[in-house]
């Protein structure tokens, strides 16, 4: 008996459409797995599902935070585990849907959080490196350590802190723990040809602009929301730069598309390196994918999931030896 199903994939890969069909097929309820869809007022830029698109399927953890509030993976972990218990108790299947890989991993595996001690020597060295090489260099260093990190290069304080955490011994310990599953879970990943994905991303950005993304960003700024965590999301930071007069609207939209494509690439890297995933081909018919997932869930067991983890570990070791 599967406790929880997770649907992951890069932005614009079709997670929402698939999740609705799976929810109807398995009598499930959907839990948001996107770090930015928790915020009220951030709807167009996060591609948040509209109420009329939900088809009667219950959705959880959307619009639970004001845009000026902070939100952490530890808080998400706690909230989602409570939701999993509630949904299971109703005899329904919890379905986590989103592209924030760390959030999904933190919920489904024994991912523990501990107080991070500041290493003043490391911090001093990192700030010295920042002075010598600049923000873009430090942002690149962060992405090498944590490919899914979604922090603007100019937010140097957060970039430095994220590097500190990624380089700490404690972080390595937590990652080892994070390989131990807590549920009888299945994680489905949406595989899509890169060229098709990038076309979808570009089309989605154009649609967002038509639907009023710029007005959404203006509304948030008029509420005094400028430098909050939520406004670092892709789409919001680029259009803020336009509204501040530092770039043209054409450049802002081009950067939005480019940053979305780069983020999708980092998402793929995280999913393939960190999670035991059953991949499906999104270019197939929906009915075929539903049946493949149902068959896999029927025969799935913990031994197979551990085998997937070991296969992925060996593949990473082979790639590292090249």
* pLDDT tens digit sequence for 54-86: 999 999 999 999 999 988 888 999 999 999 999
Residue 34 has pLDDT above 90, yes or no: yes
Q: Structural domain of residue 160, as residue ranges? A: 120-171
Question: Using 50, 70 and 90 to split pLDDT, how confident is the model at 321?
Answer: low
**Is the domain of 208 the same as that of 294?**
yes
Residue 284 has pLDDT above 90, yes or no: yes
**Is the domain of 131 the same as that of 243?**
no
pLDDT at 304: 55
Tell me how far apart the alpha carbons of residues 218 and 226 are, in angstroms, rounded to a whole number: 10
**Is the domain of 64 the same as that of 199?**
yes
Residues with Cβ within 8 Å of residue 146, at least 6 apart in sequence: 162, 166
Binding-site positions for ATP: 9-16
Higher pLDDT pick, 87 / 144: 87
Binding-site positions: 9-16
pLDDT at 178: 52
pLDDT at 69: 93
Binding-site positions for substrate: 11-16
Helix, strand or coil, per DSSP, at residue 194: helix
**Is the domain of 135 the same as that of 10?**
no
**Is the domain of 271 the same as that of 202?**
yes
**Is the domain of 151 the same as that of 244?**
no
pLDDT at 172: 43
Percent of the chain with pLDDT over 70: 87
Tell me how far apart the alpha carbons of residues 101 and 148 are, in angstroms, rounded to a whole number: 8
**Is the domain of 98 the same as that of 209?**
yes
Q: What is the pLDDT of residues 201-238, one digit of tens each?
A: 999 999 999 999 999 999 999 999 987 889 989 999 99
**Is the domain of 99 the same as that of 235?**
yes
Residue 104 has pLDDT above 60, yes or no: yes
H/E element, 225:
none
- C-alpha 253: how far from chain center: 21
- Of 129, 150, 171, the domain-final residue: 171
Residue 243 has pLDDT above 90, yes or no: yes
pLDDT at 167: 77
pLDDT at 169: 47
**Is the domain of 208 the same as that of 288?**
yes
- How many domains, in total, are found in the chain? 2
User: Do the beta carbons of residue 245 and residue 219 sit within 8 Å?
Assistant: no
**Is the domain of 162 the same as that of 35?**
no
- Of 130, 152, 171, the domain-final residue: 171
**Is the domain of 41 the same as that of 163?**
no
Higher pLDDT pick, 300 / 105: 105
- Of 151, 171, 191, the domain-final residue: 171
**Is the domain of 277 the same as that of 138?**
no
Task: List strand residue ranges (DSSP E) for 173-306, in order.
Answer: 185-191, 278-281
User: Do the beta carbons of residue 60 and residue 98 sit within 8 Å?
Assistant: no
DSSP annotation string for 58-101? -EESSS-B-TTS---HHHHHHHHHHHHHHHHHTT-EEEEEES-H
Q: What is the pLDDT of residues 169-178, one digit of tens each?
A: 444 444 445 5
The average pLDDT across 250-265 equals 97
Higher pLDDT pick, 215 / 307: 215
The average pLDDT across 13-20 equals 97
138-145: long-range contacts at Cβ-Cβ below 8 A with a sequence spacing of 24 or more? 138/163, 142/166, 143/266
The average pLDDT across 305-312 equals 57
Domain of 94: which CATH number? Answer: 3.40.50.300
């Amino acid at each position: 008996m599967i406790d929880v199903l997770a649907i992951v994939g890069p932005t614009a890969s079709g997670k929402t459409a698939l999740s609705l069909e799976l929810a109807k097929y398995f009598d499930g309820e959907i839990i948001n797995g996107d770090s930015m869809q928790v915020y009220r007022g951030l709807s167009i830029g996060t591609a948040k599902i509209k109420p009329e698109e939900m088809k009667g399927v219950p959705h959880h953890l959307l619009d639970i935070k004001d845009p000026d509030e902070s939100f952490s993976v530890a808080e998400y972990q706690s909230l989602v585990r409570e939701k999993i218990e509630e949904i299971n108790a109703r005899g329904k299947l919890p379905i986590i849907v989103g592209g924030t890989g760390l959030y999904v991993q933190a919920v489904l595996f024994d991912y523990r959080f501990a107080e991070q001690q500041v290493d003043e020597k490391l911090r001093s060295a990192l700030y010295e490196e920042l002075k010598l090489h600049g923000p873009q260099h430090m942002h690149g260093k962060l992405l090498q350590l944590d490919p899914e990190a979604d922090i603007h290069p100019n937010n140097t304080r957060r970039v430095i802190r994220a590097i500190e955490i990624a380089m700490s011994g404690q972080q390595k310990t937590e990652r080892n723990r994070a390989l131990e599953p807590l549920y009888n879970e299945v994680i489905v990943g949406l595989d899509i040809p890169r060229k098709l994905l990038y076309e979808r991303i570009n089309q989605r950005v154009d649609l967002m602009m038509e639907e009023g993304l710029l007005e959404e960003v203006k509304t948030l700024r008029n509420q005094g929301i400028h430098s909050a965590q939520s406004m670092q999301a892709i789409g919001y930071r680029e259009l803020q730069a336009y509204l501040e007069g530092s770039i043209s609207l054409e450049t802002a939209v081009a950067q939005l598309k480019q940053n979305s494509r780069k983020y999708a690439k980092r998402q793929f890297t995280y999913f393939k390196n960190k999670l035991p995933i059953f991949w499906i081909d999104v270019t197939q018919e929906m009915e075929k994918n539903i049946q493949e997932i149902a068959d896999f869930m029927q025969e799935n067991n913990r031994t197979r999931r551990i085998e997937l983890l070991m296969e992925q570990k060996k593949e990473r070791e082979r790639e590292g030896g090249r």
